[in-house]
Amino acid sequence: MPESQPSKKRGGHAYGRRNQQMSNTAEEGELCIYSGHSLGRFSSHSMRYDSHQACTRCVASAREGMLSFDVDRLLKKYRPKALKFWSQVDIGSPDECWNWNGVINPRTKQAQFAWRRPGISSSTQHHPQRVAMWLTWGDLGFTGVKTTCGNKYCCNPFHLIPQNIGVFVDNDTYLESFELACQIHTLKQQIAEYVLEEAIKEEAKKAEKLDAELRNGMLLNPDTQFGDRFEALVTDFLSGAHISQLNPDDSSMFKLPTDNDAENPTDNI
Ligand SMILES: [Zn+2]
Ligand SMILES: [Zn+2]
């Protein structure tokens, strides 16, 4: 019987390669989530080490022990994602564990955060520790990340060390760093604003739905008084929402739902 051979198949689950040493060759890859890390001013690609899809510029700064909580260093389109992520982390003082308050998969008991990262991983769920690494140490692709505290729900970047890329960790400096303390303070304020804005949006959506339900209920009810019907009609007219005001030429009525639009899939970042 021939000796068993490791599978030569490339690909598979990208995270399987996280324990390997980082390659020293880079290729043009997905755009890094940090601004200023593209190949050129108008490029939509970044250089990434081909083994782990880690952005070369992020690796360089991680090796110097740089980490940052500044959401504004990210490209604009990733900032809400970052705030959404941090709003689910119990951010404490730098030397404490910051526990994950978000989704925990009921089957595997693994903490997870949804983020579509085409070109980096086919998985749409990521471990929050990896996401915390991306948002502080850098866009290091599927570089392994280990905790120094052993708490599998801890998302404190000071307790998370990217593996096999040779990071320089200087904990004393981190804990005394005024700049990092300021960044965490600002981040907390931005999270509070984000959470409030999201709550307001949610309330507005609910109110709109309730409004429409009440309106429909009233118009369909045979006991509704003429005055009420008249008022509903006039308000519809004034807001341009009456059925007679719909433009038959408006092709939007015949458009497919956006979900079916293959050319422009809804980007769920
Ligand atoms: Zn980068
Ligand atoms: Zn910890």
Alpha-carbon distance values, 103 to 89, 188, 196 (Å): 11, 20, 20
Q: Residue 193 pLDDT more than 50?
A: yes
Distance (angstroms) between ligand 1 centre and the Cα of 36 equals 8
Question: Which listed ligand is nearest to 53 at the C-alpha?
Answer: 1
**Residue 19 and residue 125: Cα distance in Å, rounded?**
19
Query: How sure is the predictor about 7, in pLDDT bands with cuts at 50, 70 and 90?
Result: very low
For residue 188, give the 3-state DSSP assignment: helix
Question: Which listed ligand is nearest to 48 at the C-alpha?
Answer: 1
Distance (angstroms) between ligand 1 centre and the Cα of 33 equals 6
More confident position, 255 or 164: 164
Altogether, the residues listed in the chain come to a count of 269
For residue 251, the model assigns a pLDDT of: 59
Q: Which two tokens mark 116?
A: 């579509």
Distance (angstroms) between ligand 1 centre and the Cα of 73 equals 10
pTM: 0.76
For residue 15, give the 3-state DSSP assignment: helix
**Residue 147 and residue 129: Cα distance in Å, rounded?**
8
Alpha-carbon distance values, 37 to 6, 10, 75, 119 (Å): 36, 28, 10, 16
Distance (angstroms) between ligand 1 centre and the Cα of 98 equals 24
Distance (angstroms) between ligand 1 centre and the Cα of 138 equals 6
Per-residue pLDDT of 40-56, as tens digits, reads 888 999 999 988 899 99
For residue 8, the model assigns a pLDDT of: 45
Distance (angstroms) between ligand 1 centre and the Cα of 238 equals 51
Query: How sure is the predictor about 258, in pLDDT bands with cuts at 50, 70 and 90?
Result: low
What number is the average pLDDT over the span 118-125?
90
**Residue 263 and residue 257: Cα distance in Å, rounded?**
13
Q: Which of 88-92, 116-120, 240-244 tops mean pLDDT?
A: 88-92
Around Cβ 104, how many Cβ atoms within 10 Å? 13
